């Protein structure tokens, strides 16, 4: 009668002899109503849904752990070039330091005619030295050199033969040519290393632009492995200073403001000139900024912030950011960055839009809310359903839940957890 009617027989009353049948009935109900599936699905279903939704909108989480890390971020360290800025710098001015020529602004009409032949020859050497150097400023220098070559019909002229090239991490590049000369190209940190001070015009020191210096050394010997100290012993001469400007992303200020509203502080870490970094930070509303940092310095800043109790995310796009990636709780790379940075990051933004960075944090927090909701529902369901199915109210209120109804309740609980997780599909950046 138990299997046909789905309810205990009329004689199944606690004060009458039917203990075995009674035990089987309530045991079956408990087995049917218990739902460990809901507890098991609460976390993975929400994380899987989040990874899928993120991929649809250009936020590529490499793992479920990356989603969890993004949810807990309290401080964001962000690089400048290619992240806050568009990463497409352009040459906006130059000055030949050794010859004392005036600053040549690219905004002036007929600026190409002002560039001397000696300067054009220097640019051909710069282009040869910057080949295969993966940095946005390097690409801008090569583009400008090609533009000059096409303007004076010198595309077919032979460039100096570079016999050796040495990259100085966070400083620049040094190369040696077949005629026995050495050329160094880099920022102010390179000038300090090589002991070659340069005085720039006041207009350049106050403008929002990066400055790259070109230095040469005559009769520079080539050792097997020149150390930085040995390079400083060369007789370097500052030949040219080049101004480059990189446009700040249109959405940067709004995204920084929204991040602060989410409770995420922002720190700007850059290897660029501290004055330029300060001006860019003021433009987008970042209060803490550090410029002139080497890759090791960036990594140390991230480690220090973590030691102070912050959950740190590092956003960058270049090889120089990889050491800081290794120290951060969450590493984020932006589309268009170096292959090494993309491969070593936990989260890849498939489009060069900082709104995706904001959306990734919103998605991670929405995912965590779904996980908490799933867990609360699964626990409450089992806490309530198990005692009732076991016959807690069978005597006092004659409330008896048959096994078929318990099976339906168990299935409904799992379906509800899955549905709650899949509601993330409606997320919009």
Helix (H), strand (E), coil (C) string for 155-201: CCCCCCCEEEEEEECCCEEEEEECCCCEEEEECHHHHHHHCCCCCCC
Crossing angle between the packed helical segments 354-389 and 403-422, to the nearest 10 degrees: 170
E strand or H helix that includes residue 298: helix 295-307
Model pLDDT for residues 292-305, shown as the tens digit of each residue? 888 899 999 999 99
Model pLDDT for residues 15-48, shown as the tens digit of each residue? 444 667 766 767 777 777 676 777 778 888 899 9
pLDDT (mean) for 322-345:
89
pLDDT at 228: 58
Classify 39 as helix, strand or coil: helix
Check: CB of residue 429 under 8 Å from CB of residue 356. Answer: yes
pLDDT (mean) for 408-423:
82
Model pLDDT for residues 350-392, shown as the tens digit of each residue? 888 899 999 999 999 999 999 998 888 877 877 777 777 776 6
Q: Is the pLDDT of residue 1 over 50?
A: no
- pLDDT classification of 331: cutoffs 50, 70, 90: very high
Classify 62 as helix, strand or coil: coil
**CA gyration radius, the chain:** 33
Stated length of the chain: 429
Cα 94–Cα 96–Cα 101 angle in degrees, nearest 5:
100
pLDDT (mean) for 225-252:
80
pLDDT at 35: 66
Model pLDDT for residues 85-115, shown as the tens digit of each residue? 888 888 888 887 766 555 455 555 556 666 7
Model pLDDT for residues 335-354, shown as the tens digit of each residue? 877 888 888 899 999 888 89
CA distances from 19 to 23, 135, 213 (A): 6, 81, 93
CA distances from 107 to 104, 110, 207, 298, 370 (A): 9, 9, 14, 35, 54
- Residue 259 is given by DSSP the state H
The Cα 99–Cα 39 span in angstroms is: 75
The Cα 417–Cα 378 span in angstroms is: 8
Q: Residue 95: what are its φ and ψ, rounded to 5°?
A: -145, 135
């Amino acid at each position: 009668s138990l299997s046909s009617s789905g309810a205990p027989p009329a004689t199944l009353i606690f004060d009458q002899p039917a203990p075995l049948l009674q035990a089987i009935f309530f045991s079956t109900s408990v087995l049917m109503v218990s739902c460990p599936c809901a507890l098991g699905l609460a976390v993975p279903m929400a994380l899987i849904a989040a990874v899928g939704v993120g991929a649809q909108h250009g936020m590529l989480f490499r793992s479920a752990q990356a989603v969890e890390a993004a949810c807990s971020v309290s401080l964001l360290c962000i690089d400048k070039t290619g992240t806050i800025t568009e990463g497409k710098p352009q040459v906006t001015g130059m000055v030949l330091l050794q010859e004392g020529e005036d600053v040549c602004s690219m905004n002036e009409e007929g600026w190409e005619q002002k560039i001397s032949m000696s300067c054009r020859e220097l640019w051909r050497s710069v282009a040869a030295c910057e080949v295969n150097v993966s940095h946005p400023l390097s690409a801008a220098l090569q583009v400008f050199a090609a533009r000059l070559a096409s303007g004076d019909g010198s595309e077919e002229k032979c460039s100096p033969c570079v016999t050796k090239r040495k990259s100085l991490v966070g400083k620049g590049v040094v190369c040696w040519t077949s005629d026995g000369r050495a050329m160094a190209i880099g920022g102010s940190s390179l000038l300090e290393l090589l002991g070659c001070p340069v005085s720039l015009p006041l207009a350049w020191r106050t403008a929002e632009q990066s400055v790259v210096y070109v230095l040469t050394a005559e009769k520079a010997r080539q050792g097997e492995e020149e150390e930085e100290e040995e390079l400083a012993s060369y007789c370097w001469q500052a030949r040219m200073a080049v101004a480059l400007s990189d446009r700040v992303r249109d959405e940067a200020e709004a995204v920084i403001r929204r991040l602060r509203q989410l409770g995420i502080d922002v720190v700007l870490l850059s290897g660029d000139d501290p004055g330029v970094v300060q001006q860019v930070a003021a433009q987008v509303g970042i209060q803490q900024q550090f410029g002139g940092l080497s890759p090791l310095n960036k990594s140390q800043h991230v480690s220090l912030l973590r030691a102070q109790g912050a959950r740190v995310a590092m956003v960058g796009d270049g090889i120089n950011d990889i050491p800081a990636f290794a120290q951060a709780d969450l590493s984020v790379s932006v589309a268009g960055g170096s292959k090494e940075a993309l491969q070593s990051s936990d989260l890849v933004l498939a489009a060069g839009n900082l709104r995706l960075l904001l959306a990734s944090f919103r998605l991670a927090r929405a995912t965590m809310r779904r996980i908490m909701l799933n867990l609360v529902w699964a626990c409450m369901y089992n806490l309530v359903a198990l005692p009732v199915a076991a016959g807690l109210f069978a005597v006092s209120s004659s409330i008896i839940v048959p096994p078929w109804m318990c099976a339906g309740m168990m299935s409904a609980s799992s379906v509800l957890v899955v549905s709650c997780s899949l509601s993330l599909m409606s997320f919009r950046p």
